[in-house]
C-alpha cells in the first residue's frame, strides 16, 4: 500500500512517499534512485494514525511521523476546538474572500488608461474611433 509520510524534524517538514506493509506495520522510504541507492528509512506506523487526504476526488493515505524516534504521531482533529470558534473562523475567511473578489472587479479609470498606454491598446482605440468617423488610417 502506498502511504504519504509527513516527516517532522525539529522545525522542518518533509513530504515523502513510502510503501506500507500492513502485517508488519512498517513504512519504508527508498533511498536515492539514480546514481547510488541509499539505505531505506523504516518507520513504525500505528494504523489508527493513518488519515485520508482528498485531492481532486481522489483519496490519499497519509500519516505524520517523527524522524527522531521513527514512530507515527497522532494528528489532532476538530474535536479539540469548540464549534463557536470554528464558525467564527469560517465566517471571517468567507468575508475576506468576498471582499477581495469585489476589489478585484472594480478597476479605476486611471488604471485602465495606464494599461492602454502600456501596449498598443490606445492606438487601436484611436484607430477604431477614426474609422467610425469615416477616416481611413
Q: pLDDT for 8-37, tens place per residue?
A: 888 888 888 899 998 999 998 887 666 666
Using CA of residue 15, residue 75, residue 57, residue 99, what is the dihedral sign? Answer: negative
Chain centroid to Cα 25, Å, comes to 29
Residue 80 pLDDT grade (very low, low, confident, very high; cuts 50, 70, 90): low
Cell numbers of 121, please? 491598446
CA distance 72 to 113: 58
Enter the C-alpha cell of residue 2: 502506498
Amino acid at each position: 500500500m502506498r502511504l504519504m509520510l509527513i516527516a517532522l524534524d525539529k522545525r522542518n517538514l518533509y513530504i515523502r512517499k513510502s510503501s506500507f506493509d500492513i502485517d508488519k506495520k512498517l513504512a519504508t522510504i527508498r533511498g536515492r534512485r539514480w546514481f547510488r541507492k541509499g539505505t531505506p528509512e523504516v518507520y513504525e506506523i500505528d494504523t489508527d494514525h493513518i488519515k485520508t487526504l482528498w485531492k481532486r476526488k481522489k483519496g490519499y493515505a497519509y500519516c505524520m511521523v517523527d524522524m527522531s524516534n521513527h514512530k507515527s504521531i497522532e494528528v489532532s482533529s476538530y474535536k479539540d476546538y469548540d464549534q463557536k470558534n470554528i464558525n467564527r473562523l469560517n465566517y471571517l475567511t468567507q468575508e475576506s474572500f468576498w471582499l477581495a473578489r469585489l476589489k478585484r472587479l472594480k478597476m479605476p479609470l486611471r488604471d485602465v488608461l495606464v494599461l492602454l498606454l502600456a501596449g498598443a491598446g490606445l492606438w487601436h482605440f484611436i484607430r477604431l474611433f477614426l474609422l467610425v468617423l469615416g477616416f481611413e488610417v
